Structures are given as C-alpha cells and as structure tokens.
Amino acid sequence: MGTLKEFRIVITGRPGVGKSTMVKLAVELLKEHGARVVGFYTEEIRDESGRRVGFDVVDVESQERFALARKGKDAERKLGSYGVMVKEFESYLTGLEKRIDSAEVVVVDELGPMEFFSRKFVELMKRVAEMKRWIITHHFRAKNYQVVRNFLERATWKCALTPENRDEKMEVLLKLLQTSLEI
C-alpha cells in the first residue's frame, strides 16, 4: 500500500442513527486496501427478547469482544441502570495502547460517557488526537468533554449524522477515504 493522506474524521449523532455502521464500512474499505487499522467499535448486547442489556467494545483487528457495561451489574461506576466495567475496559485498552503507534489509522467508536469513566481511555485519546489519521464517533451527550472538543478542533471532516442525511454522508466519507488511499 502507498502512503495514506491525512484525515481526521468526527462523526456524531444520536444512538441508532448509523455511526457504527459508517465506521464498520470505513474500516472495511481501509483494510481492503491494505491499511493497518486499530481501534474498536461499540456494540449493544441484547437478550433473547431483544432488550438491550449491555455494551461490548469489539476490536477492529481481531473482532474479539470486551465487556464495557451490563444492565444491573454491580460495578464501581454506574451510568443509569448500567454497571460500567472500567477494569475490563482498561485491560483491553492496555493491549490497544501497545498497537497504536504502528497503526496507519485509529478508529474509536465511541467517545461516550461510559468510556470516559476510564482515565486510561482519556489519556489514550489525547495521544490519538495528535495522530494524522483517525475516525472517531462521539455520543451526542459527550460534546462537552475536553477530549471531544480536542478532536473536533483537529477534525478535517465533521459529520452530524441524521436518518435523513446518512446515505449522503456515507458516500462523502467513502469518497474522502478513497481519495486518501489514492484509488
């Protein structure tokens, strides 16, 4: 693979609007063209009846899942009815931290209130914000965190995703990445 042009992308929007779907498609495109992508996306965990019972982070390289939060979990940190599993999340982050410097692109889906319970996450995101290529999503309620503001200030492309514009914004994102890949 040739040299990737710089890009710093921030995608925001309400839950369920398609931020994670955009990230997964972007990762797929980048990987298809030989880019070394590291990071994670966040997925809801649902029970047999379809009710949301938690969240996992999924590593973009290995597809390995790591628990982030569970409904009703007795945990040191809580967000609503969810117990946030900070130690488990930080265990994942320790491994991610070791891979970040060799990455061509870092993907973080998402910068959200649960993730911000981790000091290790906040420090790691400060490092990522200084890098040349990243795709970040942030929870619409996280916009006041300084780390989110740092990403927004450095972004080369910002996208406020809505159900009405998501197809158009997906096309723009893919074209931007194709340009960066010079394809």
Q: What is the pLDDT of residue 94?
A: 96
Phi and psi (nearest 5°) for 30?
A: -60, -45
Q: 2 pLDDT exceeds 60? A: no
- Do residues 11 and 140 make contact, with C-beta atoms less than 8 angstroms apart? no
Domain ranges of the chain: 7-181
pLDDT tens digit string along 17-38? 999 999 999 999 999 999 999 9
pLDDT tens digit string along 139-158? 877 766 788 889 999 999 99
Q: 69 pLDDT exceeds 90? A: yes
* Sign, Cα dihedral of 151, 152, 154, 159: positive
Kindly list the distances between the CA atom of residue 168 and the CA atoms of 60, 79, 171, in Å, as whole numbers in the listed order.
24, 33, 5
Q: Regarding the domain delimited by 7-181, which CATH topology (the fold level of the hierarchy) does it fall under?
A: Rossmann fold (3.40.50)
Task: Output the six-digit token pair for 69.
Answer: 């939060």
Task: Output the six-digit token pair for 108.
Answer: 């973080």
Task: Output the six-digit token pair for 28.
Answer: 């797929």
Kindly list the distances between the CA atom of residue 162 and the CA atoms of 145, 169, 183, in Å, as whole numbers in the listed order.
22, 9, 28
